[in-house]
Structure 1
Amino acid sequence: MLSIQKNAKNVEALIKAADVALYQAKLIGSDTYNLYKHEMRLDIHEKFHIENDLRRALEKNEFSLLFQPQYHIATNQYCGEEVLVRWDHPLEGLISPDRFITIAEETGLITSIGKWVLQQACLQKKIWIEKGLPEVPISVNLSLRQFLQQSIVEMVAEVLEESELPPHLLKIEVTESVMIDLDRTSTVVKQLLALGVKISLDDFGTGYSSLQYINQLPVHELKIDQTFVAGIGKGKQAEEIISMIIQLAHSLSISVVAEGVETKEQLLYLTQNNCHKIQGYYYSKPLTGNDFELFMNGLQ
């Protein structure tokens, strides 16, 4: 929907404005309308630009993986790594997921990108195992759209078979948003567990009602969102939430990981509150595959 008085300098401009408003409405959802605003056109142009470039990016091999290690607090030993994806745009350089993942979700491109990430992560993990690196799980994020697609379990099984990675060395990370469809999520989780993979609930405490539903999902791990970790030493609210999540994990006999740990103060608080594992710049920034391998070899 648009105001003709404000937007219609000519018929062509009016039609273009209507197209922009319609496109935005489709992104919001069906059975809706949307008001055209001038700044919306810039936003839509950027989305079109990123969408078109995303379609080319996989073919041109512009995506790359980074790996960030995780550590057991009690033993100070490496116990796994999380896979992060980056887009090396030929003109704009490195583009973070914050800028392109949402558009990939909206357009459905996340399915092919996500499969590529899973394939490359499993293949890399298999190579590292063959080179003698520790046999600990590699964590790969799945978006809401990926996780709820009908073929997700078959896709994971296919990737595991192709890569020959033992299923127990793959950990699938999903956010609380999957609880929007609890019945479907519960079914998928159980099917993935039957394959032998592990399940981690990421960014815990920020989304749909963790406490109410967590006991209905047989997950292996909770990950404390880094926004709470960043609040350690800055006020009681974040610390109380962290303490509650850790206690919940202990009561359910599942592991708990704190993300975004950057300072000794944060590590000390998490240690005192019996958090199991940490991940963050305190130990290591995300590393390329080659740098990660060198880093791991330096620990042995």
Structure 2
Amino acid sequence: MSSLINNLINAMEQAVFEVTDYHSHKFKLIEGQSDWVKKLLPKATHQNVFIINDDTPFLLDFLFDANQVWHNNENAKLKSGLWTEVTDNGKELHLEAIAIKHQGNNLLLITNQSDEFSFRQKTLQTARELLLSNDKLIEQNEYLNNRIQSILKQPSEQSDILLALTKAIENASFGVLITNADFITLIENSSAEKVFNVQQTAKAVSAKPVDIITKLLINQLPEYDRIITTKSSWTGELCWMSPPSTLKWLKVALYPVKNELNELTNWIVFINDISDLKHLVQHNEQLALLDMLTELPNRISFWQALEQHIAQQDQFYLLYIDINDFRHHNEFYGHEAGDELLIEVSIRLKEQLTPADYLARVGGDEFAIILSQINCQKDCQLAVDNIINHIKKPFYTANNDLININVNVGAASYPNDAKNVEELMKFVDLSAYSAKKGKNSTLQFYDQSIKEASDKVLEIEHELKTAVTNNEFELYLQPIVDLEQRRIVKAEALIRWNHPQKGIVGPVQFIPIAEQSELIITIGKWVIESACKIAKYIEQHGYKIKISMNLSPTQVLDDNLFNFLYSKIKTYNVEPALLELEVTEGVLVDDYSVIDKLLSKVRAIGMSVSVDDFGTGYSSLAYLKKLPLDSIKIDKSFIQDIATDDNDKAIVRAVIAMAHNLNLGVIAEGVEDNEQLHFLSKNLCDSAQGYLFSRPIKVEEFLQLIKEYQ
């Protein structure tokens, strides 16, 4: 029997040692005499006592921890984890040790894991290859999504649209569904049928691909309600039990299609069967719980860890971190640079956490953290501030391109905010979404007001749709005065909302919501058309006054902006020289290539371009030199104390001199008294705008003001 056991242990690549004196690291080999044992421990012979010394430093280090197991009277085990030893002939041994206390016996079991290690490396390589093909799939998804979106938004007959969609999706190697707003399928390709075995499962009502997907989303996605309510896109993995009992893993991408009123018209759904990758994962625990790109725990592992933390009933904070503009970085710098960015963010996050904290990558550009040892909001704020400051450090791609990293952070507390995994994840996701109000890194703690604010935004968004339909907007004009000639040469068009219950509503109260909901495109078109009408109307009264319009960042990225602008110029027969576009510094920097093309076209037809709120955003001197611009507007924050603040005086003088050296005009905003006006005139500022001359007024009042100045 002893010989049989020894053969079995040798076959399993194991060696069993009795601990004769754990203080002095003395052991006796009981079973297992394979060649690798002799190479690892040359002095270990059968039934003879030997000492483990620093020839195997990792094993020796493990023995100090193992002593605690052997010292106690209770049965226990302690694993060393995998480590590597190199033998005299250069061969690598991949080993794992287990310290065992069983019924008073102290044992050490060492296993040679080289075959298992080799297998894992092969599966890791295979997984990497599959992931590379998955990256290509993502690029195909993005291309096809843009193509489908453009078809759906064309003003064509329904039959023509369906025909064009069928041609676009039929040759896709992955499943594609196009539904209406209620997830009723309009069209699907044959690949979708293959994924779900529609022919084989036709008898089952749930066999329809769209029914399967929606059911999986509802059951497996905590953020499902938020995604549907906010009409957001989503990409992730879903698990499906294919009848009768086949487990399938699906990579699903969900994209909304919206009309000009930001109303949902369609859903585009992409489905790819990734079961091969998942089955491969089942043979490798590291793959099963690891994100291959960042080598962090994945969403599955994080969910398990979160359940364990809740089971312990100790208070902790959960963080949800989302990288701002990641899709823009991916498109502009390429997917390789995007991967580099994700890896770097994961490293920076790890550097700011303690060993007790838990970090995982839970989505494409989303990370989650369990702050185990933090139980008050003040400490959480401090920890997140450190994380944000560390993440925001400059990041350069392999091509030496600089990417500015900003993140949104949502935070929720257990058990104060929620007492189960599902609610906690929902609340922290809503908090992170709420934090997406600007381009700067932001932390948002969950509280009831977030839900109330979200409901309020939805209410205003609904009212804005009604305002567009009922033409409740009006353009006011604020004059811009030439300081040398003392006459009105220009006017800034400022939108007002004639709300049926609230009266006149200023842009500060609704433009951010319009921007967030993408209604800004429709409202922006209304402003452009109204400005063209006004410019022509004023000209017909005998005055050539340039009308200046503000462009939002979203408008700048609208591919149809210039065509729409040019068509309205033609429709109302207005001179392009009587129109001007105003853009902010942030737009110049963030969307340089796009804005350069747009402004070049605008100036080519005779319109002018101005930079709004200059000095409050980025250091844009290089952009002022490169871009086709005509003037800059000094922000009112530098003007309000100009009579008393020497720093503001110096800044304004420098901006005027710099602009004139670049052949740019200078407009001062927020001029309210004669002292400010005198300083600006003395320092050769070209024009000024502010309450000293007039508040924003209606068009008829503006015409009367022109006459007074004349």
Letter in 2 for 1:212: A
Shift in Å at residue 145 of structure 1? 1.1
Shift in Å at residue 152 of structure 1? 1.5
Report the secondary structure of 1:159's partner residue.
helix
Q: What per-residue deviation string (whole Å, max 9, x for no partner) do you get for residues 35-78 of structure 1? A: 52233223222212211111111112211111011111111111
* Aligned: 1:110 with 2:520: yes
* Aligned: 1:230 with 2:640: yes
Query: Residues 54-133 of structure 1: matches in 2 within 5 Å?
Result: 54-132=464-542
Maintained 8 Å contact 1:180/1:208: no
* Aligned: 1:152 with 2:565: no
Report % sequence identity: 37
Q: What per-residue deviation string (whole Å, max 9, x for no partner) do you get for residues 17-43 of structure 1? A: 5674475267679xx997522332232
Partners of 1:177 and 1:33 lie apart in 2 by 21
Report the secondary structure of 1:68's partner residue.
strand
**Higher mean Cα deviation, 101-110 or 33-42?**
33-42
* Residue of structure 1 in register with 2:709 after alignment: 299
Q: Which has the higher helix share?
A: 1
Maintained 8 Å contact 1:225/1:258: yes
Partners of 2:481 and 2:659 lie apart in 1 by 17
Partners of 1:189 and 1:56 lie apart in 2 by 32
* Aligned: 1:175 with 2:590: no
Tell me: higher relative CO, structure 1 or 2? Use CA pairs within 8 A at least 6 residues apart: 1
* Residue of structure 2 in register with 1:43 after alignment: 453
Q: 2:654 aligns with which of 240, 244, 262?
A: 244
* Residue of structure 2 in register with 1:269 after alignment: 679
Report the secondary structure of 2:469's partner residue.
coil
Maintained 8 Å contact 2:549/2:582: yes
Letter in 2 for 1:208: Y
* Residue of structure 1 in register with 2:547 after alignment: 138
Partners of 2:683 and 2:628 lie apart in 1 by 23
Distance 1:247 1:25, change over 3 A: closer
Q: Which has the higher strand share?
A: 2
Instruction: Give the TM-score normalised by the residue count of structure 2.
Output: 0.40
Unpaired segments of 5 or more residues in structure 2? 1-319, 321-411
* Aligned: 1:288 with 2:704: no
Between the two proteins, the alignment pairs up a number of residues equal to 297
Partners of 2:682 and 2:471 lie apart in 1 by 44
Report the secondary structure of 1:230's partner residue.
coil
Select the structure of larger CA radius of gyration: 2
Report the secondary structure of 1:202's partner residue.
strand
Maintained 8 Å contact 2:489/2:545: yes
Root mean square deviation of aligned Cα:
2.5
Partners of 2:590 and 2:423 lie apart in 1 by 39
Q: What per-residue deviation string (whole Å, max 9, x for no partner) do you get for residues 70-105 of structure 1? A: 111111111111100011222222221112111111
Report the secondary structure of 2:591's partner residue.
helix
**Higher mean Cα deviation, 4-13 or 191-200?**
4-13
* Residue of structure 2 in register with 1:162 after alignment: 571
* Residue of structure 1 in register with 2:604 after alignment: 194
Partners of 1:56 and 1:38 lie apart in 2 by 28
Partners of 1:234 and 1:298 lie apart in 2 by 32
Unpaired segments of 5 or more residues in structure 1? none
Q: What per-residue deviation string (whole Å, max 9, x for no partner) do you get for residues 141-172 of structure 1? A: 11111122212211211111112111111111
Partners of 2:584 and 2:605 lie apart in 1 by 20
**Higher mean Cα deviation, 258-267 or 98-107?**
98-107
Distance 1:296 1:28, change over 3 A: closer
